[in-house]
Amino acid sequence: MDRKAWEQALAPYMERLLEIRHDLHRHPERSGQEKETQATLMRVLAPLGLKLTTFPGSYALMATLENGAGGCVAVRADMDALPITEETGLPFASENPGVMHACGHDVHMTLALGSAMYLSAHRDAWKGTVKWLFEPQEETIGGGRQMTECGCMSHPTVDVVIGQHVNPRYPAGTFFCKTGYVSGASDEVQLHVIGKSCHGAYPEGGIDAIVIMASIVTALQTMVSRRVSPFVSTVLTFGTVRGGTANNVICGDVYLTGTLRTLDEKTRRTMKHQIRRMAVSIAEGMGGAAEVVFRPSYGAVFNSEPYYTIVEDAAREVLGEENLVHREAPSLGVESFYYFIAHTPGVYYDIGSGISTALHTPTFCVDEKTIGVGIALQTESVLRLLKKTGEDRA
C-alpha cells in the first residue's frame, strides 16, 4: 500500500498510539530499570492475543504472533532512556527527574506496538510468525545479548530481523539507509604502562612511564594511517590518561583507556594484535613494560542485500522515491542490534523524525508525523518479508 492507503488503514489506531507514546515519554527509565516500561508494553499487547515472554534477570519482553505456516520475521525495539534532564518544554515531557527519552526509544516502541496492533487485527492478510523484541539496556550493555542467549531467535527460528532508529537530521518520513555495513564494532582498550618511580631530580634512577606512554600513544596513531587501507574505516581513540603522584616524582605507572572502532572482523583482529605488539615492544625498548587488555563491545551491523532490497522497495512505495536518502558510508557508532543479526540476516534503517537537535541532547524531540509513517513502513516491510521468507520455506 502507498502512504495514503496506509494513513487510512492506521487511522483507527493513531489516537491510542499517540497516547501510549506520550505516556512512555513522560515516564522514561534508565538502563536496567525498565520495569514500568515493560508493564506498559504488556498492558497494550496482552489484549491483542500475542504470546508474551519475559526473560529472567532483565525487563526484556518478546511478543509472538503465530498465524499459520510460513516464515518468521522479528522486529527489534529498544526500551531504555538516558540520564539527561529534559528541556523540550513538551506538554508530555519527562516526569522522572534527570531521565529522558533523548534517543527516541519511546518512538521505537510505539512503532512496534503499532505494527503489532495492525497485524493482529488483519491476520487474513498474511501467514507465518512475527516476533516483537523489546530490548532493555541498549544504551549500556545491550540487553539483546541475553535475549538471544535465552532463545528469542528460536522456536520458531527467525528468518530475518529488522530494526529502525529515528534520525533528527531528516524530515519526518525520510528513509536513510544502505546495504552492507551500516555501523561499526567497538572494543574498549585498556593500557597499563609500567615504569619505575624515583626522585624527579635524579631521573637516571627510574623509568619514566609518562615518557613511555607518550611514545606509545604517538606511535599507535600511525597504525590507522599506515597499517590499515585508506578504504577501510578504522578509528583508535584514547580518551583518558591517569598517572603520577607529584610534580617532582618520576611516574612509575600510567593507565590509559580508549576505544577501537572497526567494521570487518579481519581488521578488528589485526588492529588488536598490532596495538598489543607495538605497545609492548616500545615499552620494553625503553626499559619498562606494557599490559594491554581489550574488552569487546557490540559488533558491526551488516544489512543483508536481498532483505535490504525488500525493505527499500517498501520504503519507496510507502514514502515515495523522493524521500529515500541513500547512505554513502557506514557510521563507526555502535548498535546492540548486532546481537540479533549475529544469529540471522537483518536490516537496520533510519527514519527521519523531523529536523531537531542531535540525539542524546536535552532538547531532542520528534515530529509526531514520524509515528504514522514509521508504523506504515515497518508493517509494509514485515508483510513483504513474510511473503519472501514463506516462499523460501515452501
pLDDT of residue 231: 85
The full DSSP string for 204-262 is GGSB-HHHHHHHHHHHHHHHHHHTS-TTS--EEEEEEEEE-S-TTEE--EEEEEEEEEE
Interatomic CA distance for residues 192 and 81, integer angstroms: 33
Radius of gyration of the chain from its Cα atoms, rounded to whole angstroms: 24
The full DSSP string for 119-150 is HHH-GGG--EEEEEEEES-TTTT-THHHHHHT
* Domain with 304 in it: 3-183+299-393
pLDDT of residue 11: 98
pLDDT of residue 229: 87
Decide which of 296, 326, 343 is a domain's last residue. 296
In 3D, which of 127, 123, 111, 287 has the Cα closest to residue 203? 287
pLDDT of residue 228: 87
- The pairing of strands 289-296 and 175-177 is unpaired
pLDDT tens digits for range 300-322: 999 999 999 999 999 999 999 99
Shared domain check, 305 and 270: no
Interatomic CA distance for residues 133 and 113, integer angstroms: 11
Question: Which secondary structure element, helix H or strand E, spans residue 94, and what is its range?
Answer: none
Shared domain check, 57 and 78: yes
Task: Enumerate long-range contacts of 99-103, CB under 8 Å, 24 or more apart.
Answer: 99/28, 99/29, 99/30, 100/28, 100/362, 101/24, 101/25, 101/28, 102/359, 102/360, 102/361, 102/362, 102/364, 103/78, 103/139, 103/359, 103/360, 103/364
Domain count, the chain: 2
Under DSSP, the state recorded for 82 is B
Under DSSP, the state recorded for 288 is -
What CATH number is attached to the domain comprising 131? 3.40.630.10
Shared domain check, 65 and 149: yes
Shared domain check, 191 and 150: no
Interatomic CA distance for residues 299 and 314, integer angstroms: 27
Q: How far is CA 350 from the centre of its chain?
A: 11
Shared domain check, 289 and 241: yes
Please, what is the end-to-end C-alpha distance for the chain in angstroms? Answer: 25
The cell for 111 is 512503532
How many CA atoms does the CB half-sphere of 52 hold within 13 Å?
A: 18
Coil, strand, or helix at residue 274?
helix
pLDDT by 10-residue block (mean), the chain, 394 residues: 96 98 98 98 97 97 97 98 98 98 98 98 97 97 96 97 98 97 96 98 97 97 88 92 97 97 93 97 98 95 97 98 95 94 97 96 98 98 98 90
Neighbours of 295 (CB within 10 A): 10
Shared domain check, 328 and 254: no
What CATH number is attached to the domain comprising 240? 3.30.70.360
pLDDT tens digits for range 212-229: 999 999 999 998 888 888
Shared domain check, 266 and 138: no
Residues in the chain: 394
In 3D, which of 327, 335, 331 has the Cα closest to residue 351? 327
In 3D, which of 173, 180, 166 has the Cα closest to residue 307? 180
pLDDT of residue 384: 98
Shared domain check, 173 and 189: no
- The pairing of strands 253-262 and 235-243 is antiparallel
Q: At what angle do helices 305-319 and 3-26 cross, to 10 degrees?
A: 100
Decide which of 274, 296, 318 is a domain's last residue. 296
Shared domain check, 218 and 278: yes
pLDDT of residue 314: 98
